[in-house]
Structure formats: structure tokens, C-alpha cells
Chain A
Amino acid sequence: EIVLTQSPGTLSLSPGERATLSCRASQSVSNIHIAWYQQKPGQAPRLLIYGASTRATGIPDRFSGSGSGTDFTLTISRLEPEDFAVYYCQHYTDLPVTYTFGQGTKVEIK
């Protein structure tokens, strides 16, 4: 079973700063199986990135995903007020089919 570990647990930043969120898999995984979500209080998650680096429809280009193997990163180039939220990474495997989420990183206003 693949475990996703996100770090840090909480990231305290100011608007305009760069945010770098990490997602580490317990074993090497395929890039196409990694996705990132944003969740604000009281709302459903929102897909940001799939295939480790492809932005979902309507996602601003300040969000970018990268990585390979066991280490993946979500970067928010310049934080906007609406970006303060919890972010989750997700992995898919087909042996058997399972989706696993990381525990989340909270990006809070400093």
C-alpha cells in the first residue's frame, strides 16, 4: 500500500509570497497518477492538478505541479487571498484500484 506524506503540515505565508508544498510517496509512482486538490472550509475539494503537472480546467497559472518518482511538489507562485486553504495530494493505483490521499497541508495567512 502506497502512503502519501505531505509536508509541512501548516505553511504560514503572506499574500504575494511563494508557496511550496511537498507530497512524498512511500514508493516510486507514475506521474500520471498524481493529482492535487484545494479545499476551503465548508466546500468540496477542487481539482487543481492532474498527471502531476497538468492544470485542470480554469485553474490559474500561478498553480503548478512538478515531480517524479517519490517526490512531488505543488507550487503557488504568488499567493492570492483566495489561495489560503488546505491542499491534498492524491495517488491512483490499479493493482488493485485504489485512490490514496495525503493528510493535507494547510496554507494559512501569516
Chain B
Amino acid sequence: QLQLQESGPGLVKPSGTLSLTCAASGDSISSTHWWSWVRQPPGKGLEWIGEIFHTGRTNYNPSLNNRVTISVDTSKNQFSLRLSSVTAADTAFYYCARIYCGGGICNYGKDVWGQGTTVTVS
């Protein structure tokens, strides 16, 4: 059964770069699914950050103004998030999640989530 685990620094300085990794176990990153990042500021709702396929193809949230880079390392079965030029507004709980795709069709729902990791910009 697929499990996802986020890791990375919990504190980032303003104007710095946030870097997180999501390690997958129980399924291969090189499978048919997409892999995504979602964040949630304290006490607020969910915001999609972006997604990646194992080939390296990515999609990003336009509202993040080209600050986002998502990469994949199939040899380590993990994918990563980098968010540059961070401000206090980037303080949030960050989740990685799978978007299930099978038979050439995606259901567009994020069916497996990591437990999340908190990042504070200060």
C-alpha cells in the first residue's frame, strides 16, 4: 500500500528557498500516476502548488509566479518541491499527494496523502 512521507527544513528565512522531498513507499513513482504538492496556511484552506509525472513533465499553479520547481528522482522513488523567494505568506502545512491515473484516465482526485510537514518563513 502506497505511503508518502514529506521531509525538509521546518524553518526558512524570508527571500530564501523552501525545499521539501516526498518519499514514496509501496508503489513506484514511475507508475502511471501524477504526483502533487498542496499547501494549507494555518487555519485556512487548501492550495494546489503543482504536480509532476515520472517523465519530468510538470504543471504549476500560475498564481505562484514562477517560483515553483518540482522535480522527480525515480532512482530514489521520490519527488521534490522548491519554492523560491519565500515570504511569510508561504508559511503553511505542505502535503504531497498522488493523483490516481489508470488505463490512461486520471480521476483528478488526490487519493493518497502524506501526513504533511509544517514550514515557517521567519
A residues near B, CB below 8 A? 32-33, 35, 37, 39, 44-47, 49-51, 54, 56-57, 88, 90, 92, 96-104
Q: CB distance A45 to B111 under 8 Å?
A: no
Q: How far is the CA of A104 from the CA of B36 in the complex (A)?
A: 20
Task: Find chain A residues with CB under 8 A from B110 CB.
Answer: 35, 37, 45, 47
Q: CB distance A101 to B45 under 8 Å?
A: yes
B residues near A, CB below 8 A? 36, 38, 45-48, 51, 59, 61-62, 95, 97, 107-111, 113-116
A101 in complex: contacting residue of B36, B47, B59, B107, CB < 8 Å: B47
Chain A binding surface, main DSSP class: strand
Q: How far is the CA of A51 from the CA of B116 in the complex (A)?
A: 25
Residue in chain B with minimal CB distance to A51: B107
Q: CB distance B115 to A57 under 8 Å?
A: no
> Separation in Å of the A86 CB from the closest CB of chain B?
8
Residue in chain B with minimal CB distance to A36: B109
Task: Find chain B residues with CB under 8 A from A57 CB.
Answer: 111
Q: CB distance B115 to A44 under 8 Å?
A: yes
A33/B113 contact (C-beta < 8 A), A44-B95, A88-B45, A101-B46 known: no
15 A/B residue pairs, CB under 8 Å, sorted by A: A32-B107, A35-B107, A35-B109, A35-B110, A37-B46, A45-B38, A45-B95, A49-B109, A51-B109, A56-B109, A90-B109, A96-B59, A98-B48, A99-B36, A100-B48
